[in-house]
Structure 1
């Protein structure tokens, strides 16, 4: 018998302290996401699901809940359209188990 644990259940155990008005991830040029990027890998690859597709073909990032893994900045290497830095001290992901 195998036990299946969903990613969402694991993510729920973490806490995130939001630094209001100072997101640590942003899109540099939204038109570049909409017009130049066909892969939209950021939407698929983010383990926390912070990146979403808009109805107009654009991409939105909401950094609340970000795991600070840096996947989005690595996956967007071709376009270099992600501004990413660690949150200020005391903010960001708070891992429950370590």
Structure 2
């Protein structure tokens, strides 16, 4: 009988291979009116849990942060919260956004 060994994947290592051309003048994701602390806590926590790039964070003091610059453009946040706290989600302009690299 053979033993199957689990495969461990280091997501941070894989994501670090990607390149990003960030459009500093046109954020492709916006939350509410921009005041992160005014957003519904449960909805923001959903984003913290589901975003594979960990763009949505809550630090040890409960302070929220968000940065679209490392977005993988998967649309998970849009699917989860478009009707609640995501006020804008669109694909980045041409030549902008993520460029996937496979090691």
- Determine if the TM-score, normalized by the shorter chain, exceeds 0.5: yes
Tell me the residue number matched to 1:92: 97
Q: 1:78 to 1:22 in 2, by over 3 A?
A: closer
Aligned to 2:24, which of 5, 20, 24?
20
Q: 1:56 to 1:27 in 2, by over 3 A?
A: farther
Tell me the residue number matched to 2:77: 72
Q: Give unpaired runs (5+ residues) of structure 1.
A: none
Q: Give unpaired runs (5+ residues) of structure 2.
A: none
Q: Using structure 1 for the length normalisation, give the TM-score.
A: 0.78
The alignment yields a C-alpha RMSD, in angstroms, of: 2.2
Q: CA deviation at 1:60?
A: 2.8
Q: CA deviation at 1:57?
A: 5.0
Counterpart secondary structure, 2:49: helix
Bigger Cα Rg: 2
Q: Equivalents in 1 of 2:55, 2:42: separation in Å?
A: 18
Alignment size in residue pairs: 94
Q: Equivalents in 2 of 1:56, 1:21: separation in Å?
A: 30
